Amino acid sequence: MRIVLHIGLEQVGAARLQDVLAAKREQLLAKGVLFPRSVGAKNHTRLFMAVTDPDHIDPLRHNRGYGPEDQQKRLFDSVARGLVAEAETHKPDLMILSASQLGSTLSRASEIARLKALLSPLSDDIRIVAHVDEQARLLARHYAAQVMEGRAAAPDLELDMAGSADWWDDALLDGHEIRPDKGQYQETQCPAFWLDYPRLIDEWEAVFGSGTVSLRPYDPDLFYSENVTQELRDAFGIDAQIGKARAATPPPPPSAAYVTRARQLNNLLLRLLARSDRLISRKLWKSLLDELAVSGDAIDPGAFAAISDGFAASNAALCAANPALAPALTPPPPAPEWEEADPTNGFRASQYLLAFMPRIDRATRVEKRARREAQVTQAAQRQARKPQAAGISETAVAHMPPMAVQNFVKLQRSSFKPHNNIGQVDEENAAPPFAPAAPAQIRTVIVGCMKNEAPYILEWVAYHRAIGVTDFLIYTNDCTDGTDAILSRLQDMGIVQHRNNDNWNGNSPQQYALDKALDEPVLRNADWIAHIDVDEFINIRCGNGTLDDFRAAVPDATNVAMTWRLFGHSGVTDLADRFVIEQFDRCAPRYCPKPHTVWGFKTLFRNDGAYGKLSCHRPNKLSEDKADQVKWVNGSGRDMTHEALKNGWRSSKKSIGYDLIQLNHYALRSAESFLVKRQRGRALHVDRSIGLNYWIRMDWNDHRDLTIQRNTPRTRAECDRLMQDDTLRNLHQAGLDWHRAKADELHAMPEFQDLYEQAISVKLTATERVAWALALDMES
């Protein structure tokens, strides 16, 4: 495998190339080209943060929490494992890694060497690619970008260095002054050392070998056109055709007046930080600068003609060796020597700072309180990690709060300790596929509620039709991914009945829909009813795996408690167009009475009028005159009427059973699916976010259960039949594309990327997971 390492540079279209690579990730993978996700969805920022020297803390590394050396070491190990795993999974011929910060941040030979050490186990064929533009043009863009990140010095620094024979070294003279809490970073406050292109080549080739570095010209007209894919092919050595890209618009530069305003405020903010203990987060800083924006002309790169003159000789040599660079390295037309623009409208940075001080002080108090609480928590965790927690894993020790560690100790001698030693079904060895089933004669209706579930609908409908469900009544609310369009098309095809639920009111859209459903003819005429979600699959483990087979095994039952079996992400990180029942086969142990959600159940019940209300987990409002006609059974067919007749939504130690039927609950699916779910919230609990606590409670991967996969052939046959409809097939693809784009968008947001990294790093045993879940203040 060859690795092509794209090191930027900054402000020369790296983000555009990364956008296109991400959009074509699946297409490239099919052609043997891997653009990894584990180091970042688009810009591979984790890669450069992992290899900078421990004392070289840049803004992103600081804000992502990787400033401390031990945290950076964990990041390095995580990046290494992630790249190896992706390479072993996909076995590509070519891996493309891209981070503009590699070229603009790695200024030390030790850092470049550390990067090589990270990549060498993957390949000994590593090539370096950097895109370049003429230095005056690049300086104008880069200086403005630095100011928007907090730079306080005018470009006099660079102009004073013009013509220096040692530009690289001169630019780094103050590079040692790194004080994150004071806004002092090399990347923000110092000149761009990497404008010295010959030295850039020398530094990288000294580590990776002579001839490994290629410079390529930056052409904005090409980069933002649909033909940018040709540059991808040429730059990265992609032989296969990959089509064209969507044209895009280059990001507009800030006006020169805006840059002046921002620089002047930065100067005051840095002075404030230097002489006080105030704290200003990157988010707040950018918010303050945003309020200074004014329109106008951008900085004229011709004003930096002295920079062009200083690099003229070295650029000429580069063009002589590579004539393709000539257009990019041609200087801009000279303009009057640079002078800082008028900030306009009588701007006074001091007046703005005075107005901003209450927000700065408030943010400082919040941050200091958070730091104090973090210190207390860390101290408590250190105290809790004592020998009394023998048997706990290193991962659990590193992540679990003190109360969870205490719970782990208690569980060792408790009847609540989870295990897999109940039940009669062989779950770990694959059994022969079920035969195609005869058309169902009993009308069974599934009532469901959906919001943004487009990639998963067709499999779920096909699966349940294959086991004997005859009708579907589906409510949707606030969909933006095409879920409602897919269901409307299925309604046109006579497969489901779809109802728009956007105008719901009350406590939840789900309960509002269930109340309305009782008046629907399809429900009134049903023989049996079940309310389940699209991440829940009725898994019948007897006979030929159909509802008729199950009902034959429990002929006098009127209500069936289908207990959840919680399935984790099974190590699957990427959102893929594959059956859920095929991808995820790792689940919770059969015996797991705590936490309370593990043994939650949904109800399959006879439509005999015994209950007057349909709720999330079960029917309610029992008619007393019909109470003696009701018989509840568990998933093994045993009577549990006494326990469930009037209330309750979870199985107990007495009533748990999975031998005949269980409800496979894929609450997470892949790690990327979880990100999207985290972003949109839940249909039932619209006022709650789904964070790491939810992942901890739902990511069970301790045991393998393959029983549902006996349904795969007949599910696929039914799904293929549905997909013969061109409209439906296109809607499914559009929904899948929406979710992939949303996942990429969330990866690019620090809050969600941090959640993603936290989630996939937490690997717990069943007992550890129970202990942690019990320590959390979680809701069902």
pLDDT tens digits, 113-166? 999 999 999 999 999 999 999 999 999 999 999 999 999 999 998 998 998 889
Mean pLDDT of the region 229-246: 96
The pairing of beta strand 661-665 with beta strand 536-540: antiparallel
Give the number of other CB atoms < 10 A from CB of residue 334. Answer: 16
Mean pLDDT of the region 662-673: 97
Confidence of residue 480 (pLDDT cuts 50, 70, 90): very high
* Residue 683: predicted pLDDT: 41
Residue 51 pLDDT exceeds 70: yes
Confidence of residue 383 (pLDDT cuts 50, 70, 90): low
Mean pLDDT of the region 637-647: 96
Mean pLDDT of the region 311-324: 97
* Residue 664: predicted pLDDT: 98
Mean pLDDT of the region 689-698: 80
Q: What pTM was estimated for this model as a whole? A: 0.61
632: three-class secondary structure by DSSP = strand
* Residue 173: predicted pLDDT: 78
Cβ atoms 715, 466 nearer than 8 A: yes
Which residue from 502, 536, 577 is spatially nearest to 732, judged by alpha carbons? 577
Q: What tokens appear for 17 in the block?
A: 């190339």
Q: Quote the CA–CA distance of 461 and 438 in Å, as a whole number.
A: 17
* Residue 378: predicted pLDDT: 66
- DSSP secondary structure letter of residue 602: E
Pinpoint the alpha helices (H) of 412-507: 457-467, 483-492
* Residue 751: predicted pLDDT: 81
Mean pLDDT of the region 461-481: 97
* Residue 370: predicted pLDDT: 83
- Per-residue pLDDT reduced to its tens digit, 728-751: 999 999 999 999 999 999 988 888
Q: In the chain, pLDDT over 90 holds for what percent of residues?
A: 83
* Residue 688: predicted pLDDT: 37
- Identify the weakest region by mean pLDDT among 382-396, 398-412, 661-675, 761-775: 382-396
> What CATH number belongs to 2-253+298-325?
3.40.50.300
CA torsion sign for 695, 700, 705, 706 is positive
Which residue from 116, 131, 100, 129 is spatially nearest to 18, judged by alpha carbons? 100
Contacts 24+ apart (CB under 8 A), 351-355: 352/265, 352/288, 352/291, 352/292, 353/265, 353/268, 353/269, 353/272
* Residue 172: predicted pLDDT: 87
488: three-class secondary structure by DSSP = helix
Confidence of residue 776 (pLDDT cuts 50, 70, 90): confident
* Edge-to-edge order in the sheet of strand 213-217: 33-34, 94-98, 2-6, 126-132, 213-217
List the domain boundaries for the chain: 2-253+298-325, 349-400, 444-775
Measure the N-to-C terminal CA separation of the chain; round to a whole number of Å: 47
Residue 449's DSSP bridge partners are 475
Q: What tokens appear for 705 in the block?
A: 């259960």
Residue 518 pLDDT exceeds 80: yes
Residue 406 pLDDT exceeds 90: no
- Per-residue pLDDT reduced to its tens digit, 412-454: 989 899 999 999 999 999 999 999 999 998 999 999 999 999 9
Instruction: List C-alpha distances in Å: 718 to 465, 470, 484.
Output: 8, 13, 21
Residue 779 pLDDT exceeds 60: no
CA torsion sign for 289, 292, 295, 299 is negative
Residues in the chain: 780
* Residue 388: predicted pLDDT: 47
Mean pLDDT of the region 8-13: 93
* Residue 304: predicted pLDDT: 96
For helices 483-492 and 457-467, angle between their N-to-C axes, nearest 10 degrees: 40
Mean pLDDT score of the chain, rounded to an integer?
A: 93
Q: In the chain, pLDDT over 70 holds for what percent of residues?
A: 96
* Residue 384: predicted pLDDT: 53
Residue 767 pLDDT exceeds 70: yes
Cβ atoms 221, 329 nearer than 8 A: no
* Residue 174: predicted pLDDT: 56
* Residue 396: predicted pLDDT: 84
* Residue 690: predicted pLDDT: 54
Confidence of residue 687 (pLDDT cuts 50, 70, 90): very low
* Residue 684: predicted pLDDT: 42
* Residue 442: predicted pLDDT: 96
Q: Quote the CA–CA distance of 427 and 611 in Å, as a whole number.
A: 35
